[in-house]
Amino acid sequence: MAEAPPARRVVDILTGAWQAQALYAAAALALPDHVAAGPGPPPRSPPRPGPNRTASNG
């Protein structure tokens, strides 16, 4: 396998920590399991707030 160009090696050194953090986060959140499970139902949105009625205004 050919050695990477110096610029590529510098980028790999600079972004290595980010890559490791992204891999850790994906494993901690079980992203591969979620992707394998496929799409699920859409998330439920909270109920919309109605008019703010109090004894003094209405």
pLDDT tens digits for range 27-37 = 999 999 999 99
Q: Is the pTM of this model over 0.85?
A: no
Tokens standing for 57?
Answer: 């205004």
Cβ contacts of residue 32 below 8 Å, gap of 6+?
A: 26
Specify the pLDDT at position 33.
94
pLDDT in tens, the chain (58 residues): 689 899 999 999 999 999 999 999 999 999 999 999 999 888 888 887 777 655 555 4
> What's the rounded Cα separation, in Å, for the pair 39 and 7?
40
